[in-house]
Amino acid sequence: MTEEQLDLRAGAGLIAREIRRQARPLSLALLCALIWTIARLAIPVLTGEAIDRAIDVPGGPKLDLLLALALAVAAMAAVQGGAAAFRRYFAMSTSYRVETDLRGELYNRVNRLSFDYYDRTATGQLMSRGSTDLHEIQLLVVLIPINTAFLMMAVGAFFLLLRVHVALAVLAIGIYPLVTALTFRFYNKLFPATARVQQGLGDLTSVVEENIAGARLVRSFGREQHEIERLGRVADQIYDDNMEVARLRTAYTPLFFLLPALGQLVILAYGGWLVLEEQISVGEFVAFFQLLNMLVWPVQGLGEMVASAQRSVTSAARLWNVLREEPTIRQASHARSLPEGNGEVRFEDVWFSYEPDRPVLRDLSMRVPAGTAVALVGPTGCGKSTVAQLVPRFYDVDAGSIQIDGVDIRELKLQELRRSIGLVFEDTFLFSDTIGNNIAYGRLNASDEEIREAARLAQATEFIERLPEGYDTVVGEQGYSLSGGQRQRLAIARAVLTQPRVLILDDATSSVDARMEEEIRGALRQVMKGRTTIIISHRLATIALADQVVLLDEGRVLDMGTHTELMLSNERYREVLGQLAVTPR
Amino acid sequence: MNEETRTRREIEAAAPSLSGMWKMLSPRWRVIAVASLAICLFAASNLARPIVIQQAIDDGLIGGDGSAIVVASILFLALAFAGYVFQALSTYTVTWVGQQFLRDLRMRLFTHYQRLSMSFFDRESSGKLVARMTADMNALTDVLNNGFLMVVQALFLLLGTVVILFVLSWQLALISLIVLPPLVVATAIFRVYSAQAYEAVRDRISDVLVHMQETFAGMRVVQAYAREGHNVERFGAVNELNYEANLRTVRISSMYIPFIEWLGGVGVGLILYFGGRGVFGAEVSVGTVAAFIFYLNFIFQPIQQLSQVYDMLQSGTAALNKIFGLLAIEPELKEPRAAPPLARPVRGELKFDGVSFAYTPETVVLHSVGVTIEPGQRVALVGPTGAGKSTMAKLMMRFYDPTEGSVSLDGRDLRGVATAELRRTVIMVPQEGFLFSGTIAENILFGRPDATTEELIAACQALGVHDLIESLPSGYDTMVSYRGSRLSAGEKQLVSVARAFLADPPVLILDEATSSLDPGTESLVEAAIRRVLAGRTSVVIAHRLSTAEQAERVLVVDDGRIIEDGTHEELVTRDGYYAALHRKWMERSQPFEVASEAPD
């Protein structure tokens, strides 16, 4: 897979846009952060005052002042707590808002894109945009107000110290920027290392999944030891990667505790000496100790945020690559509705290619008269499945035109066009929903009777009613698993329910066994009655359902006629079908 | 209350798994001891610092003794470096022990999977077995990497702080510990609510991801049915629900956090007021007041940490129980104690003697089946789905043992043959060509790992698949995998047959594919199967007329019994099940007749 081109500037722009959109709650969060900082700084200052003016005074403690200061500390703590709560609330809710909005935008965008995009994009890739990358951005948004508060606190503490003693302030705080820089470095190194661990865990999952799925084979060939060795290699790799993470942690984390302690040592030694010199008071000494203690966390947080910002800009750039995509198939500006008609489909001099200079259809012309069935037959790669994809405008032709009831499909309203075509694909995709809802996928307002009627036409009633919960049985990835033939019949029911003007069956009987094919053929015969149908199949019995057969080769129509006519007259047709014949006796 | 009893029950249930865990850990007890000691010493170095400062304040600053400050500074520096060393030591050793344990446990569980009988895999869902090796192991990683360290450290800090505070001044200790009960209660309440809220978040985010996954994967269907608008609406709702679930966790923590911060302030106020008044006499010095304020942190942090660890420990224990629960399962098929090797060469006579079999006591699948398959005979098993054909095949492979009667090979009961030898002798080709991730060559060599490249190619040439493999992008080195692979069903089948051919077993069991293959490879597959069956005892579960026709002997299985036995020709004329089936087969392939006869 080729490395994705990332526009980091666009990524940063996307984050900036989201922050501007959330300017109000974010500035409220910043305001709370400011209040929090003031209250938090006040506590050590008040503590220091209490020591200097009420406790450590000649003639014993001044009780009134002491009580007032103690109450003031508790009051400031209450303010600090309240501000922290609001800051957290605004910051977190904003970040989730950003995440939710961007996810919605991503989802909407992907829904609007055209087939050529899905052809070159893996689902897993889109999923990681919608989960990991968004999470990365969410994390940054949370960190912004929190770290702004920390930064304000650090600056405030520095000025409080400066006011009392410049040299002490510079010496004590001087070490903290180093902590920030180290944290940044640490996270930058940690991230790829943990990513490797995750990668290893992913490898382990596939080995285990494969081993369990192939358990019979492993036993059949007595390859248990080999499998154990295979897992051993992955497990060792995970161990090594984890130990690499451990080495990084061992090298850095203790430093994050040692360096601030050295700052405290400065206060203890140098500050202590200053107290003896009577340049600062005992209260101030205690207050600074407390202040410095409070800074340990924030300076680490800053480093973490810079590292996080870097990652989330990359994530945002990846997200932007999806958001900026434009659909290639667009509705014409003055699109018209479908004309009256029974679904005559006409291909006129159609050229089409997925990749430039490799035409799949070359000057293809054919006509499917309304209400009749045409089977497309040809060797693998002749372009017959492409034909099916062009009628609903999943792709646009390069040259020539496709018409339904005399109108070029590019002039039609896109959704209306697609609703008028019923498609049954080779592999039936079922959504994790009830059978009823899967059948009603193309027509949401269908009544229960209509759904049942569609199922009846598709000859699916019998097996559906045998299921534990009938039409309410949940199927799909998370639900009850159905056989290939059952799925196929649901797809047929789904197509029939929309009462399509044109029905397209793309290899609808290929993934089922011969007995099942017979049942599906029965279903097809029912639903094809009087409806324009395009059948793509390499099964003779299915081909036999069509009124006409079109023989395709290398993107052109080679011949046309009934099955019997072609059998008798066309050598190539016999050749293509010959591969299907049962083994020679 | 309810939760308490449940927790206790869980802990009691965990006893065997905990002892199992200790058995694996005990060889490394020295490192564990070093790690524990390092954690405690690190915590101790933190605990000692406020005392040093207290001494500096009382003796140095207030007492005006400069040397006390120097001593305190040196002590402080020493403590800081000791903390550095012990923290580094504990970080490394704890991870080392944890990762060693996890690697061993992974290998042990996986090795155990390899020992278990097929019946186990038929019963258990593969998702569950994968989760034991992945999600549950990850839950344990959390406990081992962080949980252990946090618990030891938090408990040590908490107890140490309480002891020190009482030694410094028991009266002031009592006063300042007033904040403890509300802290514990608030944290406990918070834990319950936030656990619920986070569970809701997990459900909601999984809804979001499932919805996304399905839409993205099924995008073609979505657009074919013009469902984009409706989807966007539905996703909007799911997405918003996730947002609200997240917001709830924020609201809960937004109530807890200010309370805790306020409580911290109250603690400082209490210490200042009661410590500063000097009501407890001269022993409460300014330094002591300062030390108390510093120590307050050591009460708040550990309690919050312990509440975090609580959830971690719970899921860790649950994971441990599930893993050790699996390890306790014994393979159902016992390896024979003394198994003399089969007489060479293996003739390949398979005999079912009064074999009955039931997966569960209620549903008997085979009813005293008796049949002998002669050496070198080509046999087709025919019959409706669920008749017992695959069960017979599984018994021949000894994936299961018969409930009654016996299955024997060359007169030896399968239960008395060493599994490794049996597996080399009887090989099964499953219905769908299964590929392991790796190259095509590796997949074929799976059957005989020590075969040379020449032998591999010779085998493929003999089967007629060599040209097809060579035509692939990287020939024999083309990478394939059990998930997405570019090979067609027919090509996979060919690799699967080649694998068995290379292994060259005296007895081959083949489950024929039910679905049709692409026309390009169908004839190749049939030719390859004919070649691989030749010259050995073979049993084919047949789904095609042509396969049954080619067999030397057809066994018709229905409802767990063999109801017809004979050659194709005999059975067709006998007017039984097989004859009826044959008529249906012929009807169904009517169009085929047109295809093959019309040109003549």
Please list every residue in chain A whose beta carbon sits closer than 8 Å to the beta carbon of residue B235: 104, 107
List CB contacts of A26: < 8 A, sequence separation 6 or more.
Answer: A19, A90, A91, A94, A144, A145
Asked if residue B144 has pLDDT above 90, the reply is: no
Confidence (pLDDT) at B598 = 29
Of A118, A246, A429, the CB nearest to B96: A246
HSE of B101, CA atoms in CB hemisphere, 13 A: 27
Distance in Å, alpha carbon of A7 to nearest chain B alpha carbon: 24
pLDDT digits (tens, 9 = 90+) for B160-188: 999 999 998 888 899 888 888 999 999 89
List CB contacts of A415: < 8 A, sequence separation 6 or more.
Answer: B226, B229
Instruction: Establish if A190 touches chain B: CB-CB under 8 angstroms.
Output: no
Q: Which of A406-415, B309-318, B591-600 has the lowest mean pLDDT?
A: B591-600
Cβ B350 vs Cβ B396: under 8 Å: yes
Does A290 reside within a domain?
no
Query: Is A216 within 8 Å of B110 when comparing Cβ atoms?
Result: no
Best of A146, A171, A221 to disrupt the B interface (most B CBs within 10 Å) is: A221
DSSP B343: P
Asked if residue B430 has pLDDT above 60, the reply is: yes
Does A540 reside within a domain?
yes
Confidence (pLDDT) at A1 = 40
Asked if residue A511 has pLDDT above 50, the reply is: yes
Of B100, B214, B264, the CB nearest to A431: B214
Of B103, B261, B599, the CB nearest to A80: B261
Tell me the residue range of the domain where A250 lies. 166-279
Domain end (from A298, A328, A358): A328
Mean pLDDT of B508-529: 74
Q: Which residue of A has its CA nearest to B75?
A: A265
Q: Give the containing element (helix H, strand E) for B554.
A: strand B553-558
Higher pLDDT among residues A387 and A507, named by residue:
A387
Q: Please tell me whether residues A374 and A447 are part of one structural domain.
A: yes
Instruction: Establish if A209 touches chain B: CB-CB under 8 angstroms.
Output: yes
- The pair phi, psi for residue B261, each rounded to 5°, is -65, -40
Confidence (pLDDT) at B600 = 28
Mean pLDDT of A133-158: 88
Q: Please tell me whether residues A27 and A60 are part of one structural domain.
A: yes
pLDDT digits (tens, 9 = 90+) for A434-473: 899 889 888 888 899 999 999 988 888 888 988 888 899 8
Instruction: Establish if A224 touches chain B: CB-CB under 8 angstroms.
Output: yes
3 state DSSP class of A376: strand
Best of B55, B99, B442 to disrupt the A interface (most A CBs within 10 Å) is: B99
Of A302, A301, A303, A297, nearest in space to A257 by CA: A297
Q: How confident is the model at residue B512 (pLDDT cuts 50, 70, 90)?
A: confident
Confidence (pLDDT) at A17 = 94
Query: Is B515 within 8 Å of A510 when comparing Cβ atoms?
Result: yes
Q: Give the containing element (helix H, strand E) for A365.
A: strand A359-368
Strand order from edge to edge, sheet including A421-424: A421-424, A502-506, A532-536, A373-377, A548-553, A556-561
Does A285 reside within a domain?
no
Cβ A7 vs Cβ A47: under 8 Å: no
Query: Is B83 within 8 Å of A258 when comparing Cβ atoms?
Result: yes
Mean pLDDT of A354-381: 87
Q: How confident is the model at residue A583 (pLDDT cuts 50, 70, 90)?
A: very low
Please list every residue in chain B whose beta carbon sits closer than 8 Å to the beta carbon of residue A85: 254-255, 257-258
Q: Which of A78-92, B92-106, B422-436 has the lowest mean pLDDT?
A: B422-436
pLDDT digits (tens, 9 = 90+) for B199-236: 899 889 888 988 888 888 888 888 888 888 888 888 99
Query: Is A206 within 8 Å of B437 when comparing Cβ atoms?
Result: yes
Mean pLDDT of A499-503: 91
Distance in Å, alpha carbon of B275 to nearest chain A alpha carbon: 9
Please list every residue in chain A whose beta carbon sits closer than 8 Å to the beta carbon of residue B543: 513-514
Q: Please tell me whether residues A358 and A252 are part of one structural domain.
A: no
Percent with pLDDT over 70 in chain B: 92
Asked if residue A582 has pLDDT above 50, the reply is: no
Stretch 129-168 of chain A: residues touching chain B, C-beta under 8 Å? 130-131
Higher pLDDT among residues A481 and B67, named by residue:
B67
Q: Please tell me whether residues A18 and A130 are part of one structural domain.
A: yes
Q: Please tell me whether residues A25 and A115 are part of one structural domain.
A: yes
Higher pLDDT among residues B90 and B296, named by residue:
B90
pLDDT digits (tens, 9 = 90+) for A205-238: 888 888 888 888 888 888 888 889 989 999 999 9
Number of domains in chain A: 3
Query: Is A55 within 8 Å of B430 when comparing Cβ atoms?
Result: no
Distances (CA, A) of A168 to A274, A455, B60: 9, 84, 18
Confidence (pLDDT) at A148 = 85
* Number of residues that this document lists for chain A: 585
Domains and CATH numbers, chain B: 18-169+283-327 (1.20.1560.10), 350-597 (3.40.50.300)
Report for A17-21, A165-169, B208-212, B420-424: range of highest mean pLDDT: A17-21
Q: How many CB pairs (< 8 A) connect A and B?
A: 426
Best of A73, A106, A132, A393 to disrupt the B interface (most B CBs within 10 Å) is: A73
Q: How confident is the model at residue B371 (pLDDT cuts 50, 70, 90)?
A: very high
Domain end (from A328, A359, A390): A328
Q: Please tell me whether residues A43 and A53 are part of one structural domain.
A: yes
Mean pLDDT of B344-365: 88
Q: What is the ipTM of this complex?
A: 0.81
Instruction: Establish if A571 touches chain B: CB-CB under 8 angstroms.
Output: no
Asked if residue A2 has pLDDT above 60, the reply is: no
Asked if residue A349 has pLDDT above 60, the reply is: yes
Write the CATH number for A141. Answer: 1.20.1560.10
Q: Which residue of B has its CA nearest to A245?
A: B95
Q: Please tell me whether residues A133 and A174 are part of one structural domain.
A: no
Q: How confident is the model at residue A423 (pLDDT cuts 50, 70, 90)?
A: confident
Q: How confident is the model at residue A400 (pLDDT cuts 50, 70, 90)?
A: very high
Distance in Å, alpha carbon of B390 to nearest chain A alpha carbon: 13
Of B130, B229, B242, the CB nearest to A100: B242
Stretch 18-37 of chain A: residues touching chain B, C-beta under 8 Å? none
Asked if residue B599 has pLDDT above 50, the reply is: no
Q: Please tell me whether residues A274 and A149 are part of one structural domain.
A: no
Query: Is A223 within 8 Å of B446 when comparing Cβ atoms?
Result: yes
Asked if residue A170 has pLDDT above 60, the reply is: yes
SS3 content of chain B, % helix, strand, coil (to 5): 70, 10, 20
Question: CA A446 to CA A444: how far, in whole Å?
Answer: 6
Confidence (pLDDT) at B384 = 79
Mean pLDDT of B360-365: 83
Cβ B572 vs Cβ B579: under 8 Å: yes
pLDDT digits (tens, 9 = 90+) for A273-327: 998 888 888 888 888 888 887 777 777 788 888 888 888 999 999 999 999 999 8
Q: Please tell me whether residues A428 and A525 are part of one structural domain.
A: yes
Question: CA A415 to CA A420: how far, in whole Å?
Answer: 9
Distance in Å, alpha carbon of B561 to nearest chain A alpha carbon: 23
Q: Please tell me whether residues A125 and A274 are part of one structural domain.
A: no
Distance in Å, alpha carbon of A228 to nearest chain B alpha carbon: 6
Stretch 310-329 of chain A: residues touching chain B, C-beta under 8 Å? none
Q: Which residue of B has its CA nearest to A580?
A: B519
Asked if residue B588 has pLDDT above 60, the reply is: no
H helices of A121-214, where?
123-128, 134-164, 166-173, 176-213
Query: Is B265 within 8 Å of A81 when comparing Cβ atoms?
Result: yes
Distance in Å, alpha carbon of A369 to nearest chain B alpha carbon: 22
CA–CA–CA angle A39, A45, A50 (5° rounding): 120
Asked if residue B2 has pLDDT above 80, the reply is: no
Q: Please tell me whether residues A138 and A226 are part of one structural domain.
A: no
Confidence (pLDDT) at B1 = 40
Mean pLDDT score of chain B, rounded to an integer?
85
Report for A298-307, B541-550, B571-580: range of highest mean pLDDT: B571-580
Confidence (pLDDT) at B514 = 61
Query: Is A84 within 8 Å of B436 when comparing Cβ atoms?
Result: no
Distance in Å, alpha carbon of A126 to nearest chain B alpha carbon: 8
Does A501 reside within a domain?
yes
Instruction: Establish if A525 touches chain B: CB-CB under 8 angstroms.
Output: no
Does A46 reside within a domain?
yes
Confidence (pLDDT) at A64 = 86
Instruction: Establish if A579 touches chain B: CB-CB under 8 angstroms.
Output: yes
Percent with pLDDT over 90 in chain A: 31
Report for A154-168, B63-77, B303-317, B534-548: range of highest mean pLDDT: B63-77
Of B243, B515, B526, the CB nearest to A97: B243
Confidence (pLDDT) at B447 = 78
Question: CA A391 to CA A417: how far, in whole Å?
Answer: 9
Instruction: Establish if A227 touches chain B: CB-CB under 8 angstroms.
Output: yes
pLDDT digits (tens, 9 = 90+) for A358-367: 888 999 999 9
Confidence (pLDDT) at A507 = 73
Q: How confident is the model at residue B44 (pLDDT cuts 50, 70, 90)?
A: very high
DSSP assignment string, B69-123: HHHHHHHHHHHHHHHHHHHHHHHHHHHHHHHHHHHHHHHHHHHHHHHS-HHHHHH
Query: Is A567 within 8 Å of B60 when comparing Cβ atoms?
Result: no
Query: Is B129 within 8 Å of A212 when comparing Cβ atoms?
Result: yes
Please list every residue in chain B whose beta carbon sits closer than 8 Å to the beta carbon of residue A494: 225
Question: CA A530 to CA A551: how far, in whole Å?
Answer: 23
Please list every residue in chain A whose beta carbon sits closer than 8 Å to the beta carbon of residue B224: 392, 394, 418, 421, 423
Please list every residue in chain B whose beta carbon sits closer than 8 Å to the beta carbon of residue A66: 272-273, 276-277
pLDDT digits (tens, 9 = 90+) for A473-496: 888 766 677 777 788 888 889 988
Q: Which of A135-139, A150-154, A495-499, B155-159 has the lowest mean pLDDT?
A: A150-154
Please list every residue in chain A whose beta carbon sits closer than 8 Å to the beta carbon of residue B592: 540, 580-582
Q: How confident is the model at residue B516 (pLDDT cuts 50, 70, 90)?
A: low
Asked if residue B591 has pLDDT above 50, the reply is: no
Asked if residue A100 has pLDDT above 90, the reply is: yes
Asked if residue A585 has pLDDT above 50, the reply is: no
Query: Is B261 within 8 Å of A123 when comparing Cβ atoms?
Result: no
Query: Is A118 within 8 Å of B277 when comparing Cβ atoms?
Result: no
Q: Give the containing element (helix H, strand E) for A41.
A: helix A23-49
Does A337 reside within a domain?
no
Q: Please tell me whether residues A149 and A231 are part of one structural domain.
A: no
**What sign for the dihedral angle of Cα B24, B27, B29, B32?**
negative
Higher pLDDT among residues B545 and B354, named by residue:
B354
Query: Is A127 within 8 Å of B212 when comparing Cβ atoms?
Result: yes
Confidence (pLDDT) at B526 = 80
Query: Is B223 within 8 Å of A254 when comparing Cβ atoms?
Result: no
Confidence (pLDDT) at B584 = 73
Write the CATH number for A396. Answer: 3.40.50.300
